Amino acid sequence: MKEEIIIAGFGGQGVLSMGKILAYAALTDNLEVTWMPSYGPEQRGGTANVTVILSDKQISSPVLDTFDTAVILNQQSLDKFESKVKPGGTLIYDSYGIHRSPTRTDINVYKVDAMEATFDFKNAKTYNMIVLGALLKIRPVVPLESVMTGLKKVLPARHHHLLDLNRQAITKGMDLVKL
């Protein structure tokens, strides 16, 4: 098993922490994992992306040119990474703020209206968890319980009362996807 994932969007959308939760889930499942962020001031407002590789074998390069799965949350990221998805791979995107839809036909494209779904929660911070739920439904690389364990490690203890809300958001994201 090996899954090479890029998650890309604006800084502030929770791109890096979504990748981090995925990485911790992989740790729980005894997988090998690398989490390589684009780092620096761009995290705050500019574009941000993170490459997460999960594998049952040792991982060589943490830097990749093509991906099994791309999670795309803004137009710039779509422009940059649509061509980088391997043929037969997966592209998941939120149409919110995207004015040119993906055009490739040799990959599996999923539209997930995660931004709209945050309105149901009346909490914009659930956004990345909804996206994560959608990703896990489409690519079940780690089980939900491992994700919850991962989340517990990423969230500081003072935010642990939010675990349940996050679980709901992940479930919501799963429900948004009709396979």
Residues at the interface with another protein (CB under 8 A): 20, 23-24, 27, 32-37, 39-41, 59-66, 153
Closest to another protein by CB, 49 or 126 = 49
Q: How far is CA 148 from CA 42, 144, 173, in A?
A: 28, 6, 14
Number of residues that make up the chain = 179
Least distance (Å) between residue 116 CB and another protein: 31
* 163 backbone dihedrals φ, ψ, rounded to 5°: -60, -40
Smallest distance, another protein to C-beta of residue 41, A: 8
Residue 24 or 127 with smaller CB distance to another protein: 24
Owner of token pair 């040792």? 58
Q: Which tokens go with 166? A: 């996050």
Decide whether 45 or 62 has the Cβ nearer to another protein.
Answer: 62
Select 104 or 153, whichever has its Cβ closest to another protein: 153
Rg of the chain (C-alpha set): 15
Q: Side chain identity at 64, as an amino acid letter?
A: L
Least distance to another protein from the beta carbon of 81, Å?
Answer: 13
E strand or H helix at 166? helix 163-176
Contact 177, 137 (CB under 8 A): yes
Least gap, CB of 94 to another protein (angstroms): 25
Q: Could you tell me the smallest distance in angstroms from the CB atom of residue 83 to another protein?
A: 12
Cα gap 72→164, rounded to integer Å: 26
In this complex, which beta carbon is closest to another protein, that of residue 11 or of residue 134?
11
